[in-house]
Structure formats: structure tokens, C-alpha cells
């Protein structure tokens, strides 16, 4: 018997010997290559959304082709390639510049409104976490901001503050404030009791407890609130521009214009740009949360 456990003259033994001899002369065995882990991870993350997107485009074409008639495609739902061509061409030939300029104004309004909402929301949440009477006094009004229909407030805001830049920022702040307050307050209260007892044992003061324990513990919930409010801030900018109808020509104003003039291609292009802006804000805060908490937070 050989070291391989086979008889010395068997065909398998001779084949194994030839393989070992070939390995000794520098020949290599062909091993199928696997995709790098980064490529597999990218395909796993992007594959399903891309498949859904392709399926959506196919259904769009089928609906426009077989359900709508020629007049319906012109006034309600054009083909996807017509939407793309309307963005780059449009009825007056200046469509990309107009839409991109409107996108920039919407970006500024929603960004400034979101930053103000973050500063106010985090400040109020910290005050509420430190004093029960502050939470009891102000939290009902935070709920009121969430329950009052923003569409009912927009005309009033326009009458009080005009129809310019500041009024639209105010709409963004109102619609984006509540998720930041609630999520940050929840995060500040989420630190474990044993950790509070440890800080008490070492004689930590209120500021040390807040900065070393409560704020770090609140980061995951806080950034979740930022992500929610990021999309809401874009919605607030669109709603303000749509219902004010005057002032700066942002995406909301463009959506109102295209809908009134029955230009569905440009209308859908403006809606897509609005959605992409919200996605960019949402992904940015998700990336920031992962950068700050991925080393210790396992709840992702």
C-alpha cells in the first residue's frame, strides 16, 4: 500500500503520481477564480434595486404602449425616453438650464432649512432630556407641528413672511423638526441604567454625563432622525415653491408650471430630480452615521 492508501499498481495510483510529478516540474492546477469580495458585495447591494428599476421601466413602456392611446401618452404618461429627451430639449430648448437652476435653488432651501431644524431639534431634545419640566412644557407643541397639515400653514406663512426665500426655509424647518426632536430624545434616554450608575459612582457631573454617555449613545437614533428629516426637508421646499407660486423659480414652481401647461415630460423630469435630491440627502446622513458609529454600534 502507498502513502495515499491505494495499491501500488492501480490506475489511480499512477494518475496521482503523474499529478505529483507535474506539480514538481512547475505545472499548476487550474482553479476556478472567484469574484473578489468587494465585487460580490457590490452586486449583492446593487443587483436587486437595478432589477426592480429595469422591471419598472418595462412596465412603464408596456402601460404607455398598450393601455394608453396616442392622446393619453401626450397628456398623461409619455415614454421614458421621451422624458429624457424633454429634459435635454424641452419645448423651448433651454430645459436643462432651467431645471438645474431650479434644482440648485431647491437644494439651497432644503439644506438651510434642514440645518436649522437639526440645530433646533437637537437643542430642544437635549434640554428635554435634562429637565422633565422642559419636556412637559414643549413636547406637546412639537407634536402639534407634526399634526397640523403643512398645506394649511403654507398660505398663512406666505401672508405673514412673504413668498421669498425665507418663507420657504420656514416651511422646511416646520416639516423637518419633529423627527429630529423625537429620535434624538429617544437616543438620549437610551443609555443603560448600569452605565448611568457607573458615571454616578465616579462622581461625573451633568455635562460629563451628557457629552460622554448620553450624546454618544444617541447618535444612531439621532442620525435616523436626520435621514427622515432630510427627505421631509426636500418635500417642504417643493411644497413651498408649489403653493407660493411666486418668488424664486425652484422645482416646486416648475412642477406647478409644467402641470398647468400640460407638459408631462418636463413634469416627470422635475419630480425625478426632486426624488434624487432627497435620496442624496438620505444617503449622506446614512454614510455619516456609519462613519461615526460603525466601530461600536451593531444595530445596523
Q: Check: pTM over 0.85? Answer yes or no.
A: no
Extents of the domains making up the chain: 41-74, 93-293
DSSP code string of 93-118: S-HHHHHHHHHHHHHHHHHHHHHHHH
Average pLDDT over residues 156-166: 83
Top-ranked range on mean pLDDT: pick from 207-211, 277-281, 288-292: 277-281
Q: Which residues contact 286 (CB under 8 A, 6 or more apart)?
A: 223, 227
DSSP code string of 150-213: HHHHHHHHHHHH-SSHHHHHHHHHHHHHHHHHHHHHHHHT-S-HHHHHHHHHTT--HHHHIIII
CA atoms lying within 13 Å on the CB side of residue 262:
6
Predicted pLDDT at 118: 95
- Domain 93-293 CATH class label: mainly alpha
Provide φ and ψ at 52, rounded to 5°: -65, -40
Is residue 240 within 8 Å of residue 224, measured between CB atoms? no
pLDDT digits (tens, 9 = 90+) for 15-38: 444 544 444 444 455 555 555 677
Give the separation between CA 266 and CA 141, rounded to whole angstroms.
Answer: 39
Give the separation between CA 126 and CA 211, rounded to whole angstroms.
Answer: 11
Predicted pLDDT at 111: 94
Amino acid at each position: 500500500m502507498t502513502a495515499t492508501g491505494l495499491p501500488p499498481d492501480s490506475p489511480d495510483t499512477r494518475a496521482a503520481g503523474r499529478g505529483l510529478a507535474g506539480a514538481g516540474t512547475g505545472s499548476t492546477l487550474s482553479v476556478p477564480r472567484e469574484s473578489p469580495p468587494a465585487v460580490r458585495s457590490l452586486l449583492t447591494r446593487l443587483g436587486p434595486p437595478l432589477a426592480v428599476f429595469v422591471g419598472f421601466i418595462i412596465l412603464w413602456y408596456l402601460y404607455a404602449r398598450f393601455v394608453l392611446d396616442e392622446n393619453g401618452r401626450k397628456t398623461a404618461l409619455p415614454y421614458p425616453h421621451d422624458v429624457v429627451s424633454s429634459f435635454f430639449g424641452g419645448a423651448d430648448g433651454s430645459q436643462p438650464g432651467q431645471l438645474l437652476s431650479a434644482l440648485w435653488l431647491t437644494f439651497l432651501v432644503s439644506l438651510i432649512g434642514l440645518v436649522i431644524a437639526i440645530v433646533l431639534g437637537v437643542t430642544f431634545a437635549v434640554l428635554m432630556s435634562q429637565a422633565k419640566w422642559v419636556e412637559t412644557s414643549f413636547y406637546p407643541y412639537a407634536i402639534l407641528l407634526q399634526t397640523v397639515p403643512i398645506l394649511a400653514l403654507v398660505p398663512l406663512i406666505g401672508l405673514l413672511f412673504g413668498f421669498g426665500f425665507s418663507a420657504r426655509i420656514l416651511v422646511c424647518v416646520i416639516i423637518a423638526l419633529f423627527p429630529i426632536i423625537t429620535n434624538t430624545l429617544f437616543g438620549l434616554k437610551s443609555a443603560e441604567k448600569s452605565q448611568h450608575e457607573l458615571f454616578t459612582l465616579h462622581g461625573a457631573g451633568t455635562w460629563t454625563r451628557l457629552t460622554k454617555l448620553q450624546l454618544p449613545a444617541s447618535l444612531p437614533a439621532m442620525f435616523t432622525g436626520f435621514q427622515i428629516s432630510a427627505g421631509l426637508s426636500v418635500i417642504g421646499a417643493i411644497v413651498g415653491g408649489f403653493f407660493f407660486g411666486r418668488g424664486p423659480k425652484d422645482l416646486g414652481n416648475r412642477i406647478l408650471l409644467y402641470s398647468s401647461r400640460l407638459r408631462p415630460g418636463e413634469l416627470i423630469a422635475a419630480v425625478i430630480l426632486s426624488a434624487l435630491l432627497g435620496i442624496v440627502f438620505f444617503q449622506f446622513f446614512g454614510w455619516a452615521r456609519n462613519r461615526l458609529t460603525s466601530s461600536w454600534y451593531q444595530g445596523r
